[in-house]
Structure 1
Amino acid sequence: MTTATKTAPTTAAPAPVAAAVLDAVRGGRTAEVVRLLDGVTDAERRALFPALKELRKELRAARWSAEVRRAHPALHAAGAACQTGAVAVASWLAASDMRWSQARPAVLIDLLGDRDPRWLADVVERLAARPFTARVPYELMSGLARLSGAPIPTTDAYVRAWVDSVNRARRRDDTILDRLRAEPRLRELVAALFRTDGLGSWLDWPSGDGPDTWTGALYRLVADGTLDRAATVDACVARLLRGGNVVDQRIFLRLLRELALTREEERGRVSDWLALATDGPAPVAAHAQSVLSALALDGEVSPRHLAELTDAVLFRPERKLVRAQLVLLGKVLTRDPSAAGEVLPAVAQGFGHEDSDLQERALKLVERHLGEAAAPELRAGLAEAAGQLVPALRTRAARTLGVTPAPQEPAGHTEVLPPVPRPDRLAPAPGSAVELAEEISALLASGGDVATFERALDGLVRHAHRDRQELLTALEPVISRRWWADPQRFRDRNAVASYFERRHFPLDTGGGFDLLLATLTGAARARGSHSPAGPCAHDSLTRPFESRLEEIARRLLDDPLPLLLATPSWSTGVLEPGELVDRLETCRRLGTRIAPVDFGQALLRVRRTDRGAAGTAAERAAALGTEEGTRLAAWLTTPEAPLPRVSRLTSDTRVLVETEAATGLPEDLPEPLRRLRAPLGADRARGYCYHWYSGARQHWLALLPEQPELVAARMVRDLSMAAVDDERGPCAILPRLVEAEGPAGESVHLCLAYGLGARHAEDRLATVDALLVLAARGGLDHGQLGADLGELVRSEAVKPLRAADALRTAAATGAHRTVWLVLRRALPGLLADLDASVPARGLGDLLAVAAECAERTGARGDLPHLARAADRRGASRLVTQARRLRHALTDGAPAGGARAEEVAV
């Protein structure tokens, strides 16, 4: 494409015209701008543009004011009209600073429509090449494209803008079909629609499955001949073959079903159906499978193609698809027994499926259709594949195939658990103010972790004490980008101070550093904690964190601290006692007034489990002769107290906990930290609040790094929300919880039990990680976790299907014994409560995981109430898996198998 032809050298626009245009732009009188520019030459337009550019800079300084919003549409139109280059005009039209206050497309088309058609096509291509987020109106692009006469640029942005305009241009008396019929370039745009990714949710809006839908409109356009049927079907199938997100696939599958392909159209695409059944998402694969099933039952799919389909489908994880394929094969083999030679080897792929019920279905097909005259090589291949069957089916397969069953003598089970995570040693605070500023900038951008936060916090305190002005100079680029430093948002510095003083939100990593930086610059004053308090379990966790930050902020200006006492030695939050004594010696030498909350936090973090190191540090602390040294020495030599007693309460379907007062914490703590000693009552255990959504939750575990149980008790309800309320994300903290150096008690195990039943897969994976780490550390009480899981399933707080998925994932890592020891405690209570007529949904999946683990580990013995479930009539999943588990527990124990007493509950 070419740009506009060069014109005469620029000459100054007549002063009256330029003044009138600028005045009209400032007043937002777009129609007047169009009239004034109508008779102006190109040279005069170019001469006027610098003034418009300066006006744009002036307006940008206060872009959200009413005056700017009023002026922008007129400025948008004038700036486009006063430029002659296609690149410059496209950049002006799509400028981000005028995106939300533009001139109407009709006005812009009127101003630009008399240009050269090739120039117009160039502008349209440049506008269409921009991302859709530039929000260039479709009416503008399509109007200029129509005037240019060139083919439309079917880019992602152009097609999205078209779909968006169709969705939004709703009138009372029209439909999507009416709007599509009115589109002159409909065929080109519909063809591009199938090539554009990520439009599924757009095509599903606003009507969804209602009568006025995109799929219904496209079907009608095909039916009346507006769109070519063969091309549309080909495009739809090709779109499904290309893949994409689930919503996209659902929409185009819906269209394909509405098109109702004829048998001839389906027969001509057998290879496409095979590909979709192999690799498509479950709904698409199910549709392709149904098409192939109908063709196969009519004899229009060869045994070779049927075997190819079976090979692919039997490897899929969706049990419904595998079951449907096995049913189809049974019907085909009944109709045509001669196909057994080609089909049965593919059926044998089902012997390796993870679901033993489907293994049994595949074996039944072989038993029914093998025949006595089967070729020896076929029998040999099936016998080799039968080695993948679960032990309960291998003997049965050997009888069917007429071979000697392979001896089932697996070697002793080797449990595979992850290595125990080692905490990282915190590096010293950054040595220079510039390095510190870089770390704080990265921390504010990413959120960081506890170690990064504490290191930067200590560095800020040290450099503020050493040279406050140098620190401010280094932090200036960081501070200038903070929201509270924006002069347009806070023109009065008192407003910033008032905002922080009256804040009604809990502090997190970013909010804490904002408070410290604003205080350092004098823009804020920390006068005490102002985040809202409420009857929730988190108040005692958030108050210590906030109070320490506010204490540090006050001291930054009044009496800077040379260092922080509570900065941990390790990433878990643990502070070595010798390091704390060293810091107290430094503070005594400098005559520093100790910050009480910071020192109280140091007491809660100091390591006491190493009694030798604690005793040595206590002697040094006592020799300091200071009040803090005496308190530290007393705390380091105080015997460890037992964890507070936990009692349970039921709220709806939830199982929550209450605790007594924590006697194992220092008694002389400042008030914000003293809250950690308080008992956790029923009112706080039940209460909802917004603290869980605070970014400070990662710091909660660092408050009491050697007593995770006290933190976990205050988080039980949060973890229950992952299972009961389908919340996303609460379980992300579980791996950090079990990495803490203290013992895992009843509350930690209850949190894990809830996590196993979380709604979202990422939460269940985080729980599995935590479960395996705790087992690797030797801190997992299998019986406690199993009892908790059984209790939550019985109360319907946890769905057994979700728990089975999580435990299956854990077992797949090699932790079969760990999972078995959990399930052997959970299952008896569930089986005892089993209703005689309606079994618990998902219990069969838990039994399947248990059977797999029992077979792998060689566990033997009796599981209470299992026989009653196994002796029930029928062939439900629960019954078949109960029989499989009974078979695994009662057959002869292999070498290295577990002793019978290991199974006793």
Structure 2
Amino acid sequence: MKELLTAVREGRKEDVPALLAPLDRAKRRLALAELKALRKEARSWGWRERDKIQKALLIAGAGCHSGAAGCATWIGGRELRDWTRSPYPLVLEALADRDPAWLGDLAHRLAARPTASRIDYRFVSELAKLAQCPVPATEGFVLGWAETISTAQWQHRSRRPLIDILRTDPHLTVLVPRLFETTELPPQVIWYGDPDSHSADHWPTALATLVEEGLLERSVLVDSCVTRLLRGGKPGDLRFFLDVLRRLALTEREEAERVADWIGMAAEGISTVAGHAQEVLARLDERGKLTTRALADVSGSVLFRTEKKLVRAQLVLLGKALRRDASTAEELLPVVTEAFGHEDIGIQERALKLVARYAPAPGDPLREELALSAGALGLAHRTVAAEVFGDLLVARPQTEPYMELLPPAPAPRRLEPAPETLAELVEEVVALVRSGSREVTAFERALDGLVRHAHTDRSALAEAFREALAGQWWLDDDMLSGVERRLTREAGIELVVAVLLGRVSVRAVHDGRTVRTGTATCVHAAFDEVLRARLWEAAYSVLIGRSPFLLATPTWHTGSVDPAELVERLRTYQRFGIEPGAADFAQALLRVRRSGQREAAAAAALLGTVQGNRLAAWLKADEPDAPVFRRHQETEQAPSRSWLQRSTAGARRVLLAAEERPVIQQEFPRPFHWLGSPHLPDRRHCYHGGEQPESWFATLPEDGETVATWLLPVITACATEELRGAARPLPGLVELGGPAAEAIHLALAYGLGARHPEDRLSAVDALLVLAAQGRLDAALLGRELAALVGRDRVKPNRLAESARTAAATGAYRTVLSVLAAVLPALLAYEKAPHGLSVLLSVAAECTERCGGVGAGPIAGLSTLAARGGSSQSVRHAVRLQAAWEQGAGATAVDIVP
């Protein structure tokens, strides 16, 4: 047994099976106890030491277990699975003396573990082979099998086609049906193989071929594909199952047996799945296998979808059914009217023509029902609708005035006082340490609480945290220098606690407070540097226990500090004879509300202290932290009037730059100096992407314009470089204090034209909040958007999606006021930009809903509307022009009973 343990400690894994063989059950039980102790001990080692013994420890522990359950748990242990080459052949050798039933039990237990992988598949299949039992067809085992099959083609000198590997696989008939039941397919199955150039390596093609050869049962694969397409899932998975289904080429009988399934796919499936189901239903309708009731059911769902191609195809299908049998009009025409509410006026026109062609004679109740549905049509089609339905359509004045729907403006929430009891403080700090959160309210309350409790009873505070944070790496690691380096980089509240518990040297605390060079290269790093300076200073306060509280603790959830409250805090410091921390006071100045605070300024001056005088001067100045000015990057070449003839090289990046703020450079600590330095827009040295710790905004909560200016280079990337998540800061940005001027509106403009839907949604949220606050300058935002579209920084179709999303919340007048300022610039191009028609459509819908914004005509709109033709841009221009002139909000269409 001693030789075995020595071999494990030395990492001699090849020797372990031979050393296990002569040990009886009792000795193996004793050895297992030693191995468990060694495994626990190794958790505190460095990764190199752990890696040395991992495989030997795994083999020895597996061989010493007498029960299959314990053996499976040991083999599946997370810390024993970090290897580059599998030691499972040696594990099988160590288990050679076990009976087949035991090996089969182990195989099924390992396959059932949620962490089962491709490596486990090889081991489990060998166990099942030795046990002469069926393979365990669990999800993990099936995924491991599929991954192994996909990679096996490249494990030989001469590459083997996928179809050949599958033909010879002994588990084919058992595992292929289970592959269709897994939660998600492995990426190798979805991505591997080109169906055109290498069909032998393409999974759907290979499976269909095996069905033709009789190696797989056709009905099983057909049912499995249909079931998965109905269930839904990731688009990549669904494309795989759809591809398999198409290659199986269902017969007419097989298609007719699944009418309900095709209806479900057409109604709820992703576009590609719905399109396929629609094609099948069209074929069934031509063969007379689709009842009128079934056609009406599926049409009601499809016409409600947003995909224009699907809706148009369904209207064509309905038209064919009506031409074939006009008696179906009573059941089908009410369904056709569902398209009257579609956003595309071309689809509305198709539906209206279809209704007009097959509408029953006057006096029929169905005709009145159809006329009622026609009330959903816009002004562009009401003339035609009136010709169709005659006196059934009557215009009446709108009795209720339009009401704009906006979210409630965010109200500032007062921060709760710091935790009073030690138990409450420990609970909150431990939660922050374990989560790594920098949420402003929790973080600031906890930081202030640490300083307060250290001032009253530092020893009790340290004892409470030593017990509550047992197991944290920075408490267990013996290398204090490594702890100091890592805590300094991470800049979390655990730095303060580590200083309290003696895990950071006094010299490191001194250096952290004084040797700060201010080397930030971007705004995100600058905010982090400010936070680190505050944390080191708070750590020093906790270490000496002198400060009664922190000056910079926010009054409100945004991070802002009430000036009268800050004056009172300074008065308390003065009474105790305590000198405020430089970083703490500097942060308090940046957070204090400055607008209209003459009384607070006078009270601060009466303190007669240096800090009181600085606060008074700061409040009286009431200047932005960094004055901004407009700056264009790249070239200054003006864009061509023709949308298609513009030069990409001539496009400009519209950004803002920040001027120097001398007072910050001269009076604030060095870590704050970046905030007072002049800055040109530059992302070359910023690597933060879409990150947004809430503590960043709390650094300058009263100057949203300055923060927006500094964040613009990153926010711009969501539209120009398609960076995902770059617009996430926008909702928080518009909640900051100070004026909402050019910087915030320019950042919002870039966000509305972002590449990714989640970024556009963030921008829409910010737009609605800004409007609810009464701070939205629609004309300014419209001009910024027009400039960005003109410089090809924002694509009109993306802007249209954002505008449609915002309008759908009920903010029609807000959206229209912005679009009214954007459209003249786009209408001025000789060649209409792509996406203009969608913007005109959204503007027309908003005008019909709210009746306009009380402004003059939109320049260029009448010219486009008078151009004639059937293009979408012209048709939507006609619709918008009619709504703008007539005031759609003043009239409505009703049914005469």
Normalised by the length of structure 1, the TM-score is: 0.88
1:464 counterpart = 2:454: yes
Q: Please tell me the residue identity of whatever aligns with 2:496.
A: L
1:190 to 147, 158, 176: 176
Q: Out of 77-86 and 29-38, give the one that drifted further.
A: 29-38
CA distance in 1: counterparts of 2:326 and 2:108, whole angstroms: 62
Partner in structure 2 of residue 723 of structure 1: 719
Partner in structure 2 of residue 120 of structure 1: 103
Partner in structure 1 of residue 368 of structure 2: 380
Structure 1 residue 216, shift from structure 2 partner: 2.6
1:53 counterpart = 2:53: no
Q: Please tell me the residue identity of whatever aligns with 2:111.
A: A
CA distance in 2: counterparts of 1:206 and 1:480, whole angstroms: 48
Secondary structure at 2:387 match in 1: helix
Partner in structure 1 of residue 79 of structure 2: 97
Spell out, residue by residue over 1:713-765, the C-alpha distance to the aligned partner (whole angstroms, 9 max, x if none). Answer: 11111211111122222222222221223210110101111111122222222
Q: Please tell me the residue identity of whatever aligns with 2:216.
A: L
Secondary structure at 1:654 match in 2: strand
Structure 1 residue 552, shift from structure 2 partner: 3.3
Spell out, residue by residue over 1:364-415, the C-alpha distance to the aligned partner (whole angstroms, 9 max, x if none). Answer: 2223x31665882332221121122223323322321344313153332111
Contact kept, 8 Å, 2:146 with 2:186, in 1: the verdict is no
Structure 1 residue 63, shift from structure 2 partner: 6.5
CA distance in 1: counterparts of 2:700 and 2:336, whole angstroms: 57
Q: Please tell me the residue identity of whatever aligns with 2:716.
A: S
Q: Please tell me the residue identity of whatever aligns with 2:307.
A: E
Partner in structure 1 of residue 552 of structure 2: 566
Secondary structure at 1:326 match in 2: helix
Structure 1 residue 150, shift from structure 2 partner: 3.6
Secondary structure at 2:657 match in 1: strand
Structure 1 residue 667, shift from structure 2 partner: 7.0
Partner in structure 2 of residue 511 of structure 1: 491
Q: Out of 539-548 and 240-249, give the one that drifted further.
A: 539-548
Spell out, residue by residue over 1:773-810, the C-alpha distance to the aligned partner (whole angstroms, 9 max, x if none). Answer: 11111111010011111111221211222211111111
1:496 to 483, 492, 501: 483
CA distance in 1: counterparts of 2:324 and 2:524, whole angstroms: 67
Secondary structure at 1:703 match in 2: coil
Structure 1 residue 137, shift from structure 2 partner: 0.9
Normalised by the length of structure 2, the TM-score is: 0.89
Contact kept, 8 Å, 2:474 with 2:483, in 1: the verdict is yes
CA distance in 2: counterparts of 1:152 and 1:470, whole angstroms: 59
Q: Out of 338-347 and 842-851, give the one that drifted further.
A: 338-347
Secondary structure at 1:732 match in 2: coil
CA distance in 2: counterparts of 1:544 and 1:47, whole angstroms: 56
Contact kept, 8 Å, 1:536 with 1:685, in 2: the verdict is no
Partner in structure 2 of residue 655 of structure 1: 654
Contact kept, 8 Å, 2:803 with 2:842, in 1: the verdict is yes
Q: Out of 528-537 and 147-156, give the one that drifted further.
A: 528-537
Partner in structure 2 of residue 405 of structure 1: 393
Partner in structure 1 of residue 640 of structure 2: none
Q: Please tell me the residue identity of whatever aligns with 1:461.
A: V
Spell out, residue by residue over 1:200-255, the C-alpha distance to the aligned partner (whole angstroms, 9 max, x if none). Answer: 53422444657223223222211211101122111111121122222211111121
Q: Alpha carbons of 1:535 and 1:77: their partners in 2 closer, same or farther (altered >3 Å)?
A: closer
Contact kept, 8 Å, 1:408 with 1:894, in 2: the verdict is no
Structure 1 residue 881, shift from structure 2 partner: 1.2
Contact kept, 8 Å, 2:848 with 2:889, in 1: the verdict is no
Partner in structure 2 of residue 631 of structure 1: 614
Q: Please tell me the residue identity of whatever aligns with 2:882.
A: H
Q: Please tell me the residue identity of whatever aligns with 1:798.
A: V
CA distance in 1: counterparts of 2:691 and 2:361, whole angstroms: 70
1:138 counterpart = 2:121: yes
1:83 counterpart = 2:87: no
CA distance in 2: counterparts of 1:418 and 1:494, whole angstroms: 51
Q: Please tell me the residue identity of whatever aligns with 1:872.
A: R
Q: Out of 344-353 and 818-827, give the one that drifted further.
A: 344-353
CA distance in 2: counterparts of 1:115 and 1:667, whole angstroms: 78
Q: Please tell me the residue identity of whatever aligns with 2:752.
A: L
Q: What does residue range 268-667 of structure 1 map to in structure 2 within 5 Å?
A: 268-367=257-356, 369-370=357-358, 376-410=364-398, 411-444=400-433, 445=435, 447-477=437-467, 480-487=470-477, 491-498=478-485, 511-520=491-500, 521-524=502-505, 525-526=508-509, 527=511, 528=514, 533=519, 536=522, 541-557=527-543, 560-611=546-597, 614-615=598-599, 617-638=600-621, 644=627, 646-651=629-634, 652-661=651-660
1:178 counterpart = 2:143: no
Spell out, residue by residue over 1:848-867, the C-alpha distance to the aligned partner (whole angstroms, 9 max, x if none). Answer: 11001100111275211012
Structure 1 residue 699, shift from structure 2 partner: 2.8
Q: Please tell me the residue identity of whatever aligns with 1:654.
A: R
Q: Alpha carbons of 1:704 and 1:115: their partners in 2 closer, same or farther (altered >3 Å)?
A: closer
CA distance in 2: counterparts of 1:660 and 1:200, whole angstroms: 53
Q: Alpha carbons of 1:135 and 1:516: their partners in 2 closer, same or farther (altered >3 Å)?
A: farther
Contact kept, 8 Å, 1:415 with 1:816, in 2: the verdict is yes
Spell out, residue by residue over 1:345-365, the C-alpha distance to the aligned partner (whole angstroms, 9 max, x if none). Answer: 221111122333321221122
Structure 1 residue 608, shift from structure 2 partner: 2.7
2:859 to 864, 885, 894: 864
Q: Please tell me the residue identity of whatever aligns with 1:377.
A: P
1:891 to 886, 889, 892: 886
Q: Please tell me the residue identity of whatever aligns with 1:407.
A: A
> Per chain length, whose mean CA-contact separation is higher, i.e. which structure has more relative contact order (CA < 8 Å, sep 6+)?
2
Contact kept, 8 Å, 2:761 with 2:802, in 1: the verdict is yes
Q: What does residue range 651-690 of structure 1 map to in structure 2 within 5 Å?
A: 651=634, 652-661=651-660, 668-680=667-679, 684-690=680-686
Q: How many pairs does the alignment contain?
A: 859
Secondary structure at 2:556 match in 1: coil
Q: Please tell me the residue identity of whatever aligns with 1:889.
A: W
Secondary structure at 2:654 match in 1: strand
Q: Please tell me the residue identity of whatever aligns with 1:214.
A: W
Contact kept, 8 Å, 2:518 with 2:672, in 1: the verdict is no
Structure 1 residue 637, shift from structure 2 partner: 3.8
Contact kept, 8 Å, 1:132 with 1:161, in 2: the verdict is no
Q: What does residue range 19-30 of structure 1 map to in structure 2 within 5 Å?
A: 19-30=2-13
Q: What does residue range 736-815 of structure 1 map to in structure 2 within 5 Å?
A: 736-815=732-811
Spell out, residue by residue over 1:108-147, the C-alpha distance to the aligned partner (whole angstroms, 9 max, x if none). Answer: 3344355444333322222222102577611221222233
1:265 to 244, 250, 254: 254
CA distance in 2: counterparts of 1:412 and 1:553, whole angstroms: 60
Q: Please tell me the residue identity of whatever aligns with 1:866.
A: L
CA distance in 2: counterparts of 1:141 and 1:854, whole angstroms: 66
Contact kept, 8 Å, 2:451 with 2:541, in 1: the verdict is no
CA distance in 2: counterparts of 1:55 and 1:645, whole angstroms: 62
Spell out, residue by residue over 1:490-547, the C-alpha distance to the aligned partner (whole angstroms, 9 max, x if none). Answer: x43233335567x5xxxxxx62324333433252514256688365455654544443
Gaps of 5+ in 1: 1-17, 504-509, 898-905
CA distance in 2: counterparts of 1:319 and 1:404, whole angstroms: 30
Structure 1 residue 335, shift from structure 2 partner: 4.7
Q: Out of 407-416 and 645-654, give the one that drifted further.
A: 645-654
Q: Alpha carbons of 1:556 and 1:894: their partners in 2 closer, same or farther (altered >3 Å)?
A: closer
Partner in structure 2 of residue 9 of structure 1: none
Spell out, residue by residue over 1:60-114, the C-alpha distance to the aligned partner (whole angstroms, 9 max, x if none). Answer: 4436235x43433333233222322221122122122211248633333344355
Spell out, residue by residue over 1:313-358, the C-alpha distance to the aligned partner (whole angstroms, 9 max, x if none). Answer: 0011222211221233334444554543433222111112233332
Secondary structure at 1:241 match in 2: helix
Secondary structure at 2:698 match in 1: helix
CA RMSD of aligned residues (A): 3.0
Structure 1 residue 153, shift from structure 2 partner: 2.8
CA distance in 1: counterparts of 2:671 and 2:31, whole angstroms: 65
